[in-house]
């Protein structure tokens, strides 16, 4: 991992207003990854590859991250960034809409990171659970969505996203197979461990 390159990638993403993972959220996930030592990670929402590059450091020997992104220009930039960070052998980008790609996947993943369209989180959860390994962990970013999710706020133009995030959190919390934490770091991080 090339740290100078990683810092440049982060700075450019922030300048371009790309919603990359926030520092406090990343720190929490890194601590979990250090314990979990995943060999397969699935990421939904690559953007320019920043989070995937950060996670790649915690993979077991010959581990792999599959990461899904639908925007062509972002995929192109992610490929360049992954190359600059010298982690091409660890990150596999799947280009397209995760709603279409996920049902075609059949691997088992130790970690799933959900970080794409908020309105699709219930569907992403269903697919994540289908492929999650025993003792696997799901991380989901932006689950509190600027505080809207836990307030009585429902007049926003993003109300479908808020409703679906609430449904997502309820499904997590009602699942007896999962040990769930909702943290107020960044834009809200859910951690669900399969027990």
- Applying CB under 6 A, which residues contact ligand SAH? 19-21, 45, 47, 50-51, 68-71, 74, 97-99, 115-117, 120
Output 110 or 141, the one with its CB closest to Mg ion: 141
Q: Which residues bind Mg ion (CB under 5 A)?
A: 115, 141-142
Q: Are 128 and 70 in contact (CB under 8 A)?
A: no
Pick one of ligand SAH, Mg ion, none as the site partner of residue 70 (Cβ within 5 to 8 A by kind): ligand SAH
Pick one of ligand SAH, Mg ion, none as the site partner of residue 120 (Cβ within 5 to 8 A by kind): ligand SAH
Which among 142, 166, 140 has a CA at the least distance from the CA of 154? 166
Q: Smallest distance, Å, CB 112 to ligand SAH?
A: 12
Please report, for residues 32, 91, 103, 129, 155, the alpha-carbon distance to residue 110 in angstroms, rounded to integers and kept in the order given.
12, 15, 18, 11, 38
Residue whose Cβ sits closest to Mg ion: 141
Pick one of Mg ion, ligand SAH, none as the site partner of residue 188 (Cβ within 5 to 8 A by kind): none
Q: Are 49 and 73 in contact (CB under 8 A)?
A: no
Q: Are 193 and 112 in contact (CB under 8 A)?
A: no
Pick one of Mg ion, ligand SAH, none as the site partner of residue 118 (Cβ within 5 to 8 A by kind): none
Rg (CA), the chain: 16
């Amino acid at each position: 991992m090339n740290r100078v390159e990683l810092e440049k990638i982060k700075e450019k993403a922030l300048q371009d207003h790309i919603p990359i993972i926030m520092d406090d959220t990343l720190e929490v996930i890194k601590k979990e990854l250090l314990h979990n030592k995943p060999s397969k990670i699935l990421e939904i929402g690559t953007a320019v590859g920043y989070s995937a590059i950060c996670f790649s450091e915690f993979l077991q020997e010959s581990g792999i991250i599959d990461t899904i992104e639908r925007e062509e220009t972002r995929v192109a930039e992610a490929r360049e960034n992954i190359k600059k960070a010298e982690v091409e052998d660890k990150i596999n980008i799947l280009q397209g809409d995760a709603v279409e790609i996920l049902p075609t996947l059949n691997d088992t993943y130790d970690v799933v990171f959900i970080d794409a369209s908020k309105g699709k989180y219930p569907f992403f959860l269903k697919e994540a659970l289908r492929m999650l390994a025993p003792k696997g962990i799901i991380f989901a970013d932006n689950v509190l969505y600027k505080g809207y999710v836990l307030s009585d706020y429902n007049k926003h133009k993003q109300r479908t996203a808020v409703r679906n995030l609430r449904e997502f959190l309820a499904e997590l919390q009602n699942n007896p197979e999962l040990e769930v934490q909702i943290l107020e770091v960044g834009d809200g991080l859910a951690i669900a461990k399969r027990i």
